[in-house]
Structure 1
Amino acid sequence: MDSLTQIVLGAAVGEAVLGKKVGNKAMLYGAIAGTIPDFDVFASHFTDTVSALAIHRGFTHSIVFSVLFAPLFGWLVSRYETYKSFKDWSWLFFWSFVTHPILDAHTTWGTQLFWPFDLRLAFKNIFVIDPLYTIPFLVFLILAMRQKRTTAKRRFYNSMGLIISTTYLAITLLLKWVAYTKFEAALDTQNIAYLDIDTRPSPLNTILWSANVQTENAYLLGNYSFFDSQPITFDSYPKNHELLGDLIEDESVKRMIAITEGWYTINKKEDTLYFNDLRFGLLSLTPKAENFVFKFRLDVDASGHVIFTEEPKDNRDAKKLLTELWHRLKGN
């Protein structure tokens, strides 16, 4: 999830663990702890694109990280804070650390919660930024913050924030299931033979859902809104995996295919190959658009290794997409 949401979650968890004893300092340290797992994004400054993608939401988003580093941060804070309980501070950091990847596991990218095992959890039931999740949560956190640390009202407001946000998260799982059944029914009605379906919410909401459908030689992309009155339609994008040729044996290519879990297409333009990550869809709802959110140019260096370079995004595309999503969300 976005940084603000993780700060709010960390602060609320910190309050639940230690707020009655240390007041707003529990929220402060919980908020700090809620952002620490995302420090792995700095890996992009020290390594190649593929390695940075593999590292992101890896070790720092695992139970192992929470167990190892919570006592360290707990010890550091207990050394200079008036409240000296090493155990309590460690417990605060542990829960603020571990709830971060648990929430991230519900997004499209997912997390390696059980690192070092090669298992990425990605339930794909909530977009990385969702105002309906964050705003009520933030409001209740602010209300709790304004109360004295020992009052019942403070605990009530903080608990309500945690309960409402968690309930909404559970509802999105139900919405995902309903959307999945709609896509499945549409494919059956249209007599489309498919190998797999992958569904996710569109940006900033859980009303409009997107699906990637794998067929033998292509991927079908479709959208469904709970306000739709017309049948779901699908646009076909050829896999073109054969364009990789011998590059399929390159380690970076293998790692990228593993990262995308096989949801990718290849394009060729002016003798240059492009690797498209389908998991995050397109920057346009225009049929047959090839403007994927994550698109990488493939170059071969002097030693014969493949170098992935992410294609820059145009802010105008993002603004256009939000307008298109708003109109599509209201139904077809």
Structure 2
Amino acid sequence: MDSITQAALGASLAGAVAGKTLGRSALLVGAVLGTLPDLDVIIDYGTAVANFTQHRGFSHSLFVLLPLSVLLAFAFHRWRPHLGYRRWFALTALVLMTHPLLDAFTTYGTQLFWPIGPPVAISSIFIIDPLYTLPLLVGIMAFLIRGPQTSAIMAGLLLSTLYLGWSATAQQIIQERVGPTLAEEGLEDAPRLVQPMPFNTVLWRVTVVGEEKRVEIVTGFLDGKGPVTVEHFPREPDLANAATSLPEGQRLAWFTRGFLHYDREGDQLTATDIRLGIPGAHPFTFILAKYDGDRLEPKPSSRLERPAIGGELLGVLWSRMTGSAEVLCLASLTLPPPGEGCT
């Protein structure tokens, strides 16, 4: 999740555990601890793919954060011994370990069990979702205004947790809704990603990757009873094979679970993470190698500039989310006239 949300979650948890004893300073400690795992972004691992896939790595591992909580709790206990070591440990462990657990509900991928196992990405909540964050912020503001009363903070934590649970439930409902359509496409067993569109859990995007094609579906809870709209995107198996013959291509495919679009732009072989953002506005495209004629020459990966996103896109998303528009064409990021589909 975004830094504000992680700081708010950390502050809320710290306030719930130690707010009555430490007062407002508990919120500060929790906010700092809540952002600590994300400081790994300052590390340069040498290439764009390495930086992308190592983020949320060791600093988000439960195997690292649990012993770190033990050490930090000793330090905090020396600073404020009247709280007691056990409560310091509870505060530190809760804040540090809920950070990656919350990140695991997003799509990016969180290496909870680094250095073993693949990244975990439940993908039930967008990286920024105001309905998750606002209850936490309201609880914190009430604590700051009213003094060390934890009831508002506890209420904020309860509401945000219930919302997170709703996101997972909504994801399963959308899974069932698109099942028959994917069966008609012959893709019922293909890798599938179901995730919310930006900033909400009302409108959802379904991405399915087959051998020769990829399909995208946008559907939401305010849609009518009509059939879902399916968009088809071509795949390039030869480019995929070329990319995954490279070490960095293999690493990228592992991290994204294969949800990649490969392209040849001039003499460059590129790979785009199609999980993040939306078509036309995917933020992560990497140059993996260059072609010298038909020969592929590996090179340290670099990242292309992020596509610009126009302000009108928010209006398009709002219209589709509220159901005032029946179809959103991802290929063009436009709303077709009523009754028409995507070309």
Q: TM-score, normalised by structure 2?
A: 0.86
Number of the residue aligned with 1:177 = 172
Q: Secondary structure at the match of 1:293?
A: coil
Is 2:267–2:291's contact at 8 Å kept on the other side of the alignment? no
Q: Give matches, 1:86-165, under 5 Å.
A: 86-149=85-148, 154-165=149-160
State the match for 1:321 in structure 2. Answer: 313
Task: Determine what percentage of the aligned residue pairs are the same residue.
Answer: 31
Q: Return the offset for 1:281.
A: 4.5
- State how far apart, in whole Å, the 1-side matches of 2:72 and 2:291 are: 43
Check conservation: 2:193, 2:206, Cα contact below 8 A. Answer: yes
Aligned to 2:300: 307
Report SS of the residue matched to 2:301. strand
**How big is each residue's C-alpha offset from its partner over 1:202-255, in whole Å with a ceiling of 9 and x where there is no partner?**
010111100111223111111002122242122222221312555532211110
Higher helix proportion (structure 1 or 2): 1
Q: Which amino acid aligns with 1:294?
A: F
Residue in 1 that maps onto 2:283:
293
Helix, strand or coil at the partner of 1:309: strand
Partner of 1:15: 15
> Which aligned pairs between 1:218-237 and structure 2 lie closer than 5 A?
218-229=213-224, 230-237=226-233
Which residue identity does 1:309 align to in structure 2? S
3-state secondary structure, aligned to 1:198: strand
- For 1:301 and 1:57, the matched residues in 2 are separated by 32
C-alpha offsets along residues 285-316 of structure 1, whole Å, 9 cap, x if unaligned?
A: xxxxxx5332222334999533322221243x
Task: Give distance in 1, aligned partners of 2:302 and 2:10.
Answer: 34
Q: Distance in 2 between matches of 1:20 and 1:251?
A: 52
Task: Give the SS at the match of 1:216.
Answer: coil
TM-score, normalised relative to structure 1: 0.88
One-letter amino acid matched to 1:232: V
Structure 1 stretch displaced more, 156-165 or 59-68: 59-68
- Contact 2:135 2:157 (8 Å CA) reproduced: no
| Residues in 1 aligned to 2:127 and 2:289: alpha-carbon distance in whole angstroms | 30
Letter of the 1:62 partner, please give it: S
SS in 1 for 2:258: coil
Deviates more, 1:254-263 or 1:291-300: 291-300
1:27 aligns with 2:27: yes
Residue 236 of structure 2 is aligned to residue 240 of structure 1: yes
2:276 aligns to what SS in structure 1? strand
2:193 paired residue number = 198
Q: Distance in 1 between matches of 2:119 and 2:201?
A: 22
Q: Go from structure 1 to structure 2 and tell me whether the alpha carbon gap of 1:178 and 1:245 turns closer, same or farther (over 3 Å shift).
A: closer
Output the amino acid matched with 1:248. T
* 2:130–2:199 Cα contact (<8 Å) kept: yes
Contact preservation (8 Å) 1:196, 1:213: yes
Is the 1:111–1:121 contact (alpha carbons within 8 Å) kept by the matching residues of 2?
Answer: yes
Deviations 1:2-38 (A, max 9, x none): 1111011001111122222211111111111000011
The answer as to whether partners of 1:78 and 1:85 remain within 8 angstroms in 2 is: yes
- Structure 1 counterpart SS, 2:97: helix
Give the letter aligned to residue 251 of structure 1: P
Counterpart of 2:159, as a letter, is I
Q: Distance in 2 between matches of 1:105 and 1:146?
A: 32
Paired residue for 2:182, among 162, 184, 187? 187
Contact 1:247 1:306 in 2 (8 A): no
- In structure 2, the residue matched to 1:287 is none
Whole-Å Cα distance in 2 between the matches of residues 21 and 225 of structure 1?
A: 45
- 1:212 paired residue number: 207
- Secondary structure of 2:40's partner? helix
Residue 282 of structure 1: SS of its match in structure 2?
Answer: coil
Structure 1 residues 84 and 170, CA gap change in structure 2 (3 angstroms) = closer
SS in 1 for 2:289: strand
**How far, CA to CA, are the matches of 1:66 and 1:307 in structure 2?**
31
Letter paired with 1:236: H
Q: Is the Cα–Cα contact under 8 Å of residues 300 and 307 in structure 1 kept in the other structure?
A: no
What residue in structure 1 maps to residue 335 of structure 2?
Answer: none
CA distance in 2, matches of 1:322, 1:309: 29
Unaligned runs of 5+ in 2: 327-343
Matched, 1:330 2:322: yes
**1:52-96 per-position Cα deviation (integer Å, ceiling 9, x unaligned):** 122111111121222121122223333344647444323311111
CA contact (8 A) 1:239 1:264 kept: no
| 8 Å CA contact 1:248, 1:254 repeated in 2 | yes
Deviation, 1:277, is: 1.1
1:253 to 2:249 alignment: yes
* SS of corresponding position for 1:254: helix
Give the residue type in structure 1 aligned to 2:214. Answer: Y
CA distance in 1, matches of 2:120, 2:288: 28
Q: In structure 2, how many angstroms separate the alpha carbons of the residues matched to 1:97 and 1:164?
A: 20
**Pairwise CA distance, 1:142:** 1.2
